[in-house]
Amino acid sequence: LSCPHALNEPLKKASAILRSFAWDAYMAEFVGTFFLVLTIGLNVVQGNDLAPLSIGAILMVMIFAMGSVSGGHFNPAVTLAVWLSRRQKITLRDAGIYWVVQLLAGLVAGLTYSGVLGASFALEPIDDKRGTIMSACLVEILYTCALCLVILNVATTNQDTPNHYFGLAIGSTVGSAAIAIGGVSGCSLNPAVSFGVTITHVLTMESEGRHWDYIGLYLAAPLVGAALAAAIFYAVRPAEYGGKKDK
Amino acid sequence: LSCPHALNEPLKKASAILRSFAWDAYMAEFVGTFFLVLTIGLNVVQGNDLAPLSIGAILMVMIFAMGSVSGGHFNPAVTLAVWLSRRQKITLRDAGIYWVVQLLAGLVAGLTYSGVLGASFALEPIDDKRGTIMSACLVEILYTCALCLVILNVATTNQDTPNHYFGLAIGSTVGSAAIAIGGVSGCSLNPAVSFGVTITHVLTMESEGRHWDYIGLYLAAPLVGAALAAAIFYAVRPAEYGGKKDK
Amino acid sequence: LSCPHALNEPLKKASAILRSFAWDAYMAEFVGTFFLVLTIGLNVVQGNDLAPLSIGAILMVMIFAMGSVSGGHFNPAVTLAVWLSRRQKITLRDAGIYWVVQLLAGLVAGLTYSGVLGASFALEPIDDKRGTIMSACLVEILYTCALCLVILNVATTNQDTPNHYFGLAIGSTVGSAAIAIGGVSGCSLNPAVSFGVTITHVLTMESEGRHWDYIGLYLAAPLVGAALAAAIFYAVRPAEYGGKKDK
Amino acid sequence: LSCPHALNEPLKKASAILRSFAWDAYMAEFVGTFFLVLTIGLNVVQGNDLAPLSIGAILMVMIFAMGSVSGGHFNPAVTLAVWLSRRQKITLRDAGIYWVVQLLAGLVAGLTYSGVLGASFALEPIDDKRGTIMSACLVEILYTCALCLVILNVATTNQDTPNHYFGLAIGSTVGSAAIAIGGVSGCSLNPAVSFGVTITHVLTMESEGRHWDYIGLYLAAPLVGAALAAAIFYAVRPAEYGGKKDK
């Protein structure tokens, strides 16, 4: 295609900008987050006994498959933790794009499982007894911290990467948490899950408004956990920041 | 054995052709597919709670055992995805032979578990409510896509192979899917499973014809998922096609 | 210690013979087989739902721990398969000693779990309907074949070793089989298990003789499976026998 | 900060001593032990069916994450076994600090799950029938021995490290044991678990004193198992002690 001379320069510039985006990585984040949230929804709506294993496994395999393309975050809290841990692992621009793609994939997945099963579900503290909201908030923070800490340690250090267990470690953290705190908070640990699940529930169910009650908790708590993980990572891995080498 | 001169040349040629076949690989595909379908049948007919773990595990171990002999497909959809992804991973002739061997192994396994247990089962959407056939079809496509995508990424790329997790990732994808969609479609993801299970059921049960109803769905949906996986793979792994190197 | 000259030579010879034995390997086989059979017994007697996972996991970890000391057989059928596959992996003398040590460890483990729980159990086809003995025999042969085939492929080939998944693959084969055929034959796959479990049951229970009925089946079927595995291994891995290199 | 000359030397010395401590390792031991005991408590108090998988998985991922920082002990019995196995893997001073940090982390975790769920639990032999205390003691010794033996073999040998399965092997040992002996002793295998769980129960429940009854057993039995493991390790790995090389 030949262009008039006056348009040539802007087009070249636009093309250069477009090529500077990591389209393959965004695609990988979309696909991985989609299958993660789809698998969560199919299992939770059906009430499968082995749901935590199914969820942990799909995360593991998507990370093994896509890790070297996009880092295999599939979770805005993880993207935040990686960005907060500095060391040039991700630019602010890419982190922002990752967030948008992850939230979008969560929503598309939500509409998919809702369409397949004709039902959806809400994220909420399992029991409305006094203190339960606090409990749900605390376990979401703590286990998102554990998740991000595992990711920072097994997938981003000079000392331990490359290795052959990064996907197993990360997927198993979510599987373990889903068993341990599924009965406390429902176990999101991931704003893309919280967003996709909640919006889908509001859009598809005889919504009465209260489904929005806890979305703030399930969006914010994972991000607090991510920040906590970045701080602990800094303390336990001085070697990654030019400090003395671990033994 | 000495032959009359006139027969010598044709015999040499036939021998060369025979030696050009990868008999060890066909044997490996037969054995792996046989144990996969046998394990599926034994678990499903008995209704074991942990069936998805048993099935995912046998696939994993057969891939670890036979992967370097035949690639460890054990599934015509996988063979299709590998062939569609080009890059000279398998010839059209070998892909065709793999298909025949896989379907045959599925049937032999079906007759084996049916003989052992004196019972068989049909693959069908779990509930005949309106829309369920569509749902079954969709999840078969989506999870076969996930399976083939994982295989293409962990077992066939220059960037990530060789690695020590290929079998774990592939087997766990099927285990995860069996939990997530076992209650929707039954979770075949594999035309050799669909073929072996259905033919066995028709041959051994007081068949009333309707067992054939869904065989088209369970043969075709996995192949559609395989093609979708090949397309996504092309998008997320430009480096495998001579494009720019992933970061 | 100084000896009369006449005794010196025989003592040196005896000492050389003693040093020629792989005492560390025999000890490793004892410990691994002991924990395998102990874990089987504790789980089966208590009727744990997750028994197959516990059993597969203990086998996996013992193989990871002891594999480089003794090969991590813990099973006379495995020792037979390795010996039948030739390639100087084990001498006939060591294979014989392994058998004795494995059977002994199985018995000590049997007495241990029987002492801990005050109960034991028998290995027998789960249902006495016509044909069930045949079924039990067939699945014991087939899954011991799968087990030995996995071991030969992941732990003894030039092409695939060393690797980091050998224990995972082998342990998961037994875990998968325990789920698939636990309800058919009880799933021994291992003469040391059959021996330890049966002798313990006879010694500790109000034995009525019939507990011996099936010991032949559970001792012999695994050995048949082992021989079948060695034959298949020969066919799928010509490269290990100086044949043409697998692709 | 400038100091009077007279204080300069002591301050320098104090600073040198402080820097000689492995603060990052102590932090890693705290975090790993905290998440291990937290996950145990959340699962046991809720009575989750899949509790052993959740517990084994969290141990695995914390070891994968922190192993290269602190060794990933998270258990005074493991620290004892590593110290007893000599070979300069840990100094007596660091072993002592590890013990203190692990016990403290166990207690903080205990107070956390107790606060989240408003309940706690006691470690005790599952059944008070005659002999059960002996049974609980024996299985705690045996499976702590298995755990420490696996750790010594997969994480501390010259022959087998570095490898990519150390976390999987160690976590799976605890998961396997939790299934096998959860119904006998409750499965502690770890004085930090015993300490955190028991002190929390005494502090938070309508305590009647008897909760202290078994703390001696659950603190001491794991240490006996650790010593046994160090002795077996010495026997099966002569190569690690300058003996003849294993084959």
- State how far residue A102 is from chain D, nearest Cα, in angstroms: 24
| C-contacting chains (≥3 CB pairs under 8 Å) | B, D
Number of residues assigned to chain D:
247
Calculate the dihedral angle through the C-alpha atoms of A135, A141, A146, A147, rounding to the nearest 10 degrees: 120
Q: Which residue of B lies nearest to A32 if distances are taken between CA atoms?
A: B146
- State how far residue B129 is from chain C, nearest Cα, in angstroms: 31
Residues 30-49 of A with CB under 8 A from B: 31, 35, 38-39, 42-43, 46, 48-49
**What HEC string does chain A produce?**
CCCCHHHHHHHHHHHHHHHHCCHHHHHHHHHHHHHHHHHHHHHHHHCCCCHHHHHHHHHHHHHHHHHHHHCCCCCHHHHHHHHHCCCCCCCHHHHHHHHHHHHHHHHHHHHHHHHHHCCCCCCCCCCCCCCHHHHHHHHHHHHHHHHHHHHHHHHCCCCCCCCCCHHHHHHHHHHHHHHHHCCCCCCCCCHHHHHHHHHHHHHHCCCCCHHHCCHHHHHHHHHHHHHHHHHHHHHHCHHHHCCCCCC
B119 touches chain C (CB under 8 A): no
Residue type, B58: I
3-state DSSP assignment of residue C73: coil
| B-contacting chains (≥3 CB pairs under 8 Å) | A, C
- State how far residue C51 is from chain D, nearest Cα, in angstroms: 7
What is the tens place of the pLDDT at every residue in C32-84? 999 999 999 999 999 999 999 999 999 999 999 999 999 999 999 999 999 99
3-state DSSP assignment of residue D96: helix
Residue A137 pLDDT greater than 80, yes or no: yes
Distance CA C199, CA C211 (A): 9
The reply to whether residue C164 touches residue D163, judged by beta carbons under 8 angstroms, is yes
The reply to whether residue A65 touches residue B169, judged by beta carbons under 8 angstroms, is yes
Average pLDDT, chain C: 91
- The reported pLDDT for the residue numbered A247 is 39
Please identify which residue in the block is written with the tokens 């970061």. B247
Residue C208 pLDDT greater than 90, yes or no: no
Chain B partners of C180 at a C-beta cutoff of 8 Å?
38-39, 42-43, 48, 54, 58
Q: Is the dihedral of CA B125, B35, B61, C77 positive or negative?
A: positive
Residue D144 pLDDT greater than 90, yes or no: yes
Band the pLDDT of D9: cuts 50, 70, 90.
confident
Chain C partners of D232 at a C-beta cutoff of 8 Å?
27, 31
- State how far residue B136 is from chain A, nearest Cα, in angstroms: 8
D159 touches chain C (CB under 8 A): yes
B50 touches chain C (CB under 8 A): yes
Chain B partners of C189 at a C-beta cutoff of 8 Å?
none
Chain D partners of A247 at a C-beta cutoff of 8 Å?
22, 25
Question: Of D22, D116, D171, which has the smallest distance from its Cβ to A135's Cβ?
Answer: D116
- The reported pLDDT for the residue numbered B137 is 95
- The reported pLDDT for the residue numbered A245 is 47
Q: Which ranges of B121-190 does DSSP label H, i.e. alpha helix?
A: 132-155, 166-181
| DSSP assignment of C180-235 | HHTTTT-----HHHHHHHHHHHHHHS---SGGGTTHHHHHHHHHHHHHHHHHHHHH
Distance CA C199, CA A172 (A): 40
Chain B partners of C232 at a C-beta cutoff of 8 Å?
27, 31
D58 touches chain A (CB under 8 A): yes
What is the tens place of the pLDDT at every residue in A119-132? 999 898 887 665 68
D124-140 mean pLDDT: 83
C189 touches chain B (CB under 8 A): no
Question: Of D48, D61, D68, which has the smallest distance from its Cβ to A169's Cβ?
Answer: D61
Structural contact between residues A237 and D24, judged by C-beta atoms closer than 8 angstroms: yes
Residue A228 pLDDT greater than 90, yes or no: yes
What is the tens place of the pLDDT at every residue in B184-221? 999 999 999 999 999 999 998 765 656 678 999 999 99
Number of Cβ within 10 Å of residue D104's Cβ equals 17
C168 touches chain B (CB under 8 A): yes
- The reported pLDDT for the residue numbered B247 is 40
Please identify which residue in the block is written with the tokens 């996996």. C60
- The reported pLDDT for the residue numbered B246 is 42
Chain A partners of B184 at a C-beta cutoff of 8 Å?
42, 46, 116-117
| Structure-token pair, residue C128 | 């006495």
- The reported pLDDT for the residue numbered B9 is 80
Number of Cβ within 10 Å of residue C9's Cβ equals 10
CB neighbour class for C88 (10 Å; exposed up to 12, middle 13-18, buried from 19): exposed
- State how far residue B91 is from chain C, nearest Cα, in angstroms: 13
Residue D42 pLDDT greater than 80, yes or no: yes
- The reported pLDDT for the residue numbered A172 is 98
Band the pLDDT of A192: cuts 50, 70, 90.
very high
Q: How far from the centroid of its chain's Cα atoms is residue A45's Cα?
A: 20
| Structure-token pair, residue B203 | 């041959």
Residue C4 pLDDT greater than 70, yes or no: no
Closest CA to A180 of D64, D41, C189: D41
Band the pLDDT of D19: cuts 50, 70, 90.
confident
- State how far residue A198 is from chain B, nearest Cα, in angstroms: 20
Question: Of B146, B181, B237, which has the smallest distance from its Cβ to A69's Cβ?
Answer: B237
CB neighbour class for A118 (10 Å; exposed up to 12, middle 13-18, buried from 19): middle
- The reported pLDDT for the residue numbered C207 is 55
CB neighbour class for A54 (10 Å; exposed up to 12, middle 13-18, buried from 19): buried
